[in-house]
């Protein structure tokens, strides 16, 4: 065999292996040709089935956010759900071989489940759960905070179906000294060092044992999309979404606060007491973020909308308050001088965002801003402007605003 043909046939062999099937007319492919199926698809919108108006903040790792008007759906579809990755999305997942191991100092004994075990041995529940990245809104902090410069779009509220983490933890059994759970997942550290985890966070037992804390295998009635944790993820609504581990294959029941990657130091922590912008804070003065603060988003109209005078404007959006409920929703068209009530619905279930609407009559032609402010069931309202500066730029729950022109 001539050398050229030899090279061609080995190449063909490896292409066949990669495709998992014969390339029927493979020997007829022009030299140097790569079959379409093997071309690396690098368009993130196609790759992740996202709306082309989503905004890519980073591609190493992939971090993609929505815009306010894209979040208009009551239940966030995959196409408009932000992606937040700390590492590389796992490659080649075989769900039929996936297992979840429960272990840790406080577990009675380690136990391993297949996905079929989980789906057949425990009752299944569906909840609509708000997941907001702790760093959502970071882009507004001054002095600026390092990290993804999220604007408003790192929040979602999809339907998640799975089994209760509690049911599985109770099936394993745990000792009285259990304080925390920590998740482990199969995504890959950016350095590709197999001994390093990109992220391994968790929640206190009380949160782990809530009805709504799920080990989920479906999102919006379908398998979870790859980027969002296929085939199994933890979902702990109302807390920083970093607690909701994607691609989870192990949950440890800890006898101390979980100390996995991004659980220690200053990651996902804020100063326990408020500090001056730019102030240096000692590590021991940081506290772990738990329930997320009250917040809201105007999802219609899109900022920049123009309306004729005399036409009433119907605004709408969502409001959420971590572990709490939103009890009041207001809007202002005079930069916060006066506020009027919006109608706000009850949540689909605990930890789901709530929809609001209001009909606005503008007094005359000109430029306006519509500001929205939610107040939670403990009577804490959103700050009108940027709340407590913190070094890592977490928990910006300032009022959302849109620009409107009346012509």
Ligand X SMILES: Nc1nc2c(c(=O)[nH]1)N[C@H]1C(S)=C(S)[C@@H](COP(=O)(O)O)O[C@H]1N2
Q: How far is 221 from 73, CA to CA, in rounded Å? A: 16
Q: Is 153 an interacting residue with respect to ligand X (CB under 6 A)?
A: no
Q: In this chain, which of 70, 100, 118, 199 binds ligand X, going by CB under 6 A?
A: 199
Q: Is 247 an interacting residue with respect to ligand X (CB under 6 A)?
A: yes
Rounded to a whole number of angstroms, the minimum distance from the CB of residue 234 to ligand X is 8
Identify which range of 11-19, 40-48, 242-250, 275-283 contacts ligand X by CB under 6 A: 242-250
Phi/psi for 93 (5° steps) reads -100, 130
Q: In this chain, which of 50, 80, 84, 164 binds Mo ion, going by CB under 5 A?
A: 84
Identify which range of 79-87, 100-108, 123-131, 322-330 contacts Mo ion by CB under 5 A: 79-87
Bridge partners of 300, per DSSP, are: 316
Choosing among ligand X, Mo ion, none, which partner's interface includes residue 81 (Cβ < 5 to 8 Å by kind)? ligand X
| DSSP labels, 158-200 | EEEEEEEHHHHHHHH-B-TT--EEEEEE--B-TT--TT--S--
> Using CB under 5 A, which residues numbered 293 to 352 contact Mo ion?
none
Give the Cβ contact number of residue 328 at 10 Å: 18
Listed in sequence order, the residues at least 6 apart from 250 whose beta carbon sits closer than 8 Å to its beta carbon are 100, 101, 102, 103, 183, 184, 185
Phi/psi for 165 (5° steps) reads -55, -40
Identify which range of 202-210, 228-236, 242-250, 302-310 contacts Mo ion by CB under 5 A: 242-250
What SS3 class is residue 60? coil
Q: Are 343 and 372 in contact (CB under 8 A)?
A: no
Q: How far is 114 from 119, CA to CA, in rounded Å? A: 9
Rounded to a whole number of angstroms, the minimum distance from the CB of residue 351 to ligand X is 15
Q: In this chain, which of 137, 245, 388, 393 binds ligand X, going by CB under 6 A?
A: 245
Identify which range of 8-16, 208-216, 240-248, 366-374 contacts ligand X by CB under 6 A: 240-248
Q: How many residues bind Mo ion (CB under 5 A)?
A: 3
Q: Which chain residues interact with ligand X by CB under 6 A?
A: 81-87, 131, 133, 156, 185, 187, 198-199, 228, 241-242, 244-247
Q: Which residues bind Mo ion (CB under 5 A)?
A: 84, 133, 242
């Amino acid at each position: 065999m001539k050398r050229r043909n030899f090279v061609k046939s080995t190449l063909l062999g490896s292409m066949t292996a990669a495709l998992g099937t014969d390339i029927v007319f493979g020997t007829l492919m022009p030299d140097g040709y790569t079959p379409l199926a093997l071309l690396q698809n690098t368009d993130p919108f196609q790759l992740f089935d996202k709306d082309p108006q989503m905004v890519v903040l980073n591609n190493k790792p992939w971090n993609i956010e929505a815009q306010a008007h894209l979040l208009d759906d009551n239940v966030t579809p995959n196409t408009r759900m932000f992606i937040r990755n700390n590492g590389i999305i796992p490659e080649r997942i075989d769900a039929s071989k996936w297992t979840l191991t429960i272990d840790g100092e406080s577990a009675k004994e380690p136990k391993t489940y297949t996905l079929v075990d989980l789906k057949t041995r425990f009752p299944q529940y569906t909840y609509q759960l708000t997941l907001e990245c702790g760093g959502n809104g970071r882009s507004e902090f001054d002095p600026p905070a390092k990290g993804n410069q999220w604007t408003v779009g790192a929040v979602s509220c999809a339907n998640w179906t799975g089994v209760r983490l509690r049911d599985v933890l109770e099936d394993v059994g745990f000792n009285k000294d259990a304080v925390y759970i920590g998740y482990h997942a199969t995504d890959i550290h950016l350095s590709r060092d197999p001994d390093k985890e990109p992220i391994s966070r968790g929640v206190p037992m009380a949160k782990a044992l809530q009805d709504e804390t799920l080990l989920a295998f479906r999102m919006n009635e379908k398998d979870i999309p790859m980027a969002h944790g296929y085939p199994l993820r933890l979902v702990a609504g109302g807390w920083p979404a970093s607690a909701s581990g994607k691609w989870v294959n192990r949950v440890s029941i800890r006898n101390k606060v979980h100390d996995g990657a991004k659980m220690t130091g200053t990651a996902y922590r804020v100063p326990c007491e408020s500090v001056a912008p730019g102030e240096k804070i000692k590590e021991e003065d940081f506290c772990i973020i738990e329930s997320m603060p009250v917040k809201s988003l105007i999802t219609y109209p899109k900022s920049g909308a123009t309306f004729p005078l005399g036409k009433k404007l119907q605004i709408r959006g969502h409001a959420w308050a971590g572990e709490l409920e939103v009890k009041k929703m207001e809007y202002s068209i005079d930069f916060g001088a006066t506020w009027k009530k919006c109608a706000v619905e009850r949540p689909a279930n605990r930890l789901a965002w709530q929809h609001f609407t209001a009909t606005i009559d503008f007094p005359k032609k000109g430029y306006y801003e519509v500001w929205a402010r939610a107040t939670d069931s403990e009577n804490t309202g959103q700050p009108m402007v940027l709340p407590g500066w913190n070094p890592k730029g977490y928990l910006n729950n300032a009022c959302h605003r849109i620009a409107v022109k009346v012509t």
